[in-house]
Structure 1
């Protein structure tokens, strides 16, 4: 059987067009919550793996609460889910500093003056901050028992990683500053009011590429967060009616994290209970809950922030 010489390029063009259409097709939007308790954790981790912070907020809370959070962002009352990050209140200032026209030169000069060739001092600082952070999460703040257990394990793992990471390496710092400054400028966020102007969903969309850049920088220092997300295991421990407990295990910087999280069913879908609580609390304004390390934890001038 002979194939027409005209048919071959047409078939090739059809294959290429189909491939392009498949590549451009958007994945279905994430759904709020999950059908099963363990899936509620996995769904959130999948959004972080995809650098999809807006999708994370969609998955994390029921639609009515999501709508209230969007309104609260626009009035400046809430910044959840950014509230779950340490030093979340300093994020706009950090983005602004990274976005400045001379950011690369100025930040490199600061690094060279304070951190270059200071490996021993940075290791000591990382250890001290780790100890301080663990003590804080064990005894202070408005945290659930599950949060205290989880955070103390992650802080310990990250402190040990920071104590061994090449944080004083000038070449790595130069690459990291370049990556982060480019990503920060592209967010278009440089002040707290920018969050209100954009609203929750758009702000989180803008921050997605910055999360990807941050993960890239951590990876250059030996911390592969995507590998952590990929390897996370979530298994059901107990379910009673609309409440359940899920065991979560993963490797963070080579350290095993093993904790149990509470999940709750609302409207037939499962959500992480602490996220529901924190999101609700955030609607009352920033003074209600202050997650992350207290301000004192960030005061040492040698605190590493890769």
Structure 2
């Protein structure tokens, strides 16, 4: 089965949507990047940042300042220690970006896509219901097997998968006018990103990477909109409700409209200092930092062992 530009856009955006929450509200400008003092307002602030395609602000609202700073330091350390990208990966990346940013990119990409759309139309025929059912089983199994997702996130993921599978009808996927609009959006986004080589993309610090990510998010939204998938409307329509609080822990119910459905999930919030943050985001960031510290400790132990072995060998000589 081919992958249309909108499907690619959707896959990336729905990962971000796991953190989706809150409806838009205009806070004072100086408070935009400061976590709110109650869990519902904190959730709304994160949603507003996503609606504005401001991933820098979203990242600062997602983690307590000290933890965010440590995560950024880990990013910088990994950036400094990273080995160069492989020649094949670098070549493939450069080719894709060159095609997306070429002066005739829209026409050339549509010309390449046309035979694949024709093949899709010929092969699918009356098999779509069976393919939908198979895809539903596969996606449900993949979500369930993902050990990085909490139970609420898995339930949310299954709801999203069902909505997307109902939406992704063959006539929609093969609509040439929609495909042209999606390709134009992705091509314009690639030009705005201005990252022609993988080396340039991999050299970005955390804040520049998030700034580029905001550009990509805006472009992917536009590509999805070509297929009537309005993610900004979903963000605008989200409702948040405080279900419970106990000390520094809270549970918020979030619901939002998507593809003719109302999708709801519960998210855990945690108070740190004066602000509220997603409990799962905190857990994941702390786990990543702990894993990195453990790996560094093992590397240092290995180095010490090699030095000791060398010293003993020299003494024996």
TM superposition shift of 1:100: 4.3
Quote the Cα distance in structure 2 between the aligned partners of 1:183 and 1:133. 29
Q: Which residue of 2 aligns with 1:45?
A: 47
Tell me if structure 2 keeps the 8 A contact 1:126–1:163. Answer: no
TM superposition shift of 1:94: 10
Q: Pairwise mapping of residues 148-159 of structure 1 onto structure 2 (< 5 A)?
A: 148-159=154-165
Q: Which residue of 1 aligns with 2:230?
A: 224
TM norm structure 2? 0.68
Quote the Cα distance in structure 2 between the aligned partners of 1:141 and 1:192. 30
Quote the Cα distance in structure 1 between the aligned partners of 2:51 and 2:94. 25
Distance 1:201 1:163, change over 3 A: same
Question: 3-state SS of the aligned residue for 2:203?
Answer: helix
Distance 1:191 1:66, change over 3 A: farther
Residue from 241, 256, 259 that aligns with 1:250: 256
TM superposition shift of 1:164: 6.6
TM superposition shift of 1:229: 0.4
Tell me if structure 2 keeps the 8 A contact 1:30–1:58. Answer: no
Tell me if structure 1 keeps the 8 A contact 2:256–2:263. Answer: yes
TM superposition shift of 1:113: 1.7
The number of residues matched between the two structures is 247
2:33 aligned with 1:56, yes or no?
Answer: no
Q: Which residue of 2 aligns with 1:67?
A: 69
2:124 aligned with 1:121, yes or no?
Answer: yes
More helix by share: 2
Distance 1:212 1:149, change over 3 A: same
2:97 aligned with 1:96, yes or no?
Answer: yes
Distance 1:279 1:161, change over 3 A: farther
- Farther-moved stretch of structure 1 (151-160 vs 123-132): 123-132
TM superposition shift of 1:240: 0.4
- Farther-moved stretch of structure 1 (263-272 vs 153-162): 153-162
Question: 3-state SS of the aligned residue for 2:147?
Answer: coil
What value does the CA root-mean-square deviation take over the aligned residues? Answer: 2.9
Q: Pairwise mapping of residues 110-189 of structure 1 onto structure 2 (< 5 A)?
A: 110-116=112-118, 118-119=120-121, 121=124, 128-163=134-169, 166-189=172-195
Quote the Cα distance in structure 2 between the aligned partners of 1:170 and 1:243. 49
Tell me if structure 1 keeps the 8 A contact 2:101–2:190. Answer: no
Q: Which runs of 5+ in 1 are unaligned?
A: 1-25, 78-91, 289-306
Note the alpha carbon deviations across 1:117-162, whole angstroms, 9 max, x for none: 7357395656543432222112333221121111111122122222
Q: Which residue of 2 aligns with 1:294?
A: none
Q: Which residue of 1 aligns with 2:82?
A: none
Distance 1:56 1:181, change over 3 A: same
Distance 1:95 1:255, change over 3 A: farther
TM norm structure 1? 0.71
Question: 3-state SS of the aligned residue for 2:256?
Answer: strand
Tell me if structure 1 keeps the 8 A contact 2:181–2:226. Answer: no
Quote the Cα distance in structure 1 between the aligned partners of 2:95 and 2:55. 18
Q: Which runs of 5+ in 2 are unaligned?
A: 1-27, 80-92, 296-317
Quote the Cα distance in structure 1 between the aligned partners of 2:279 and 2:32. 19
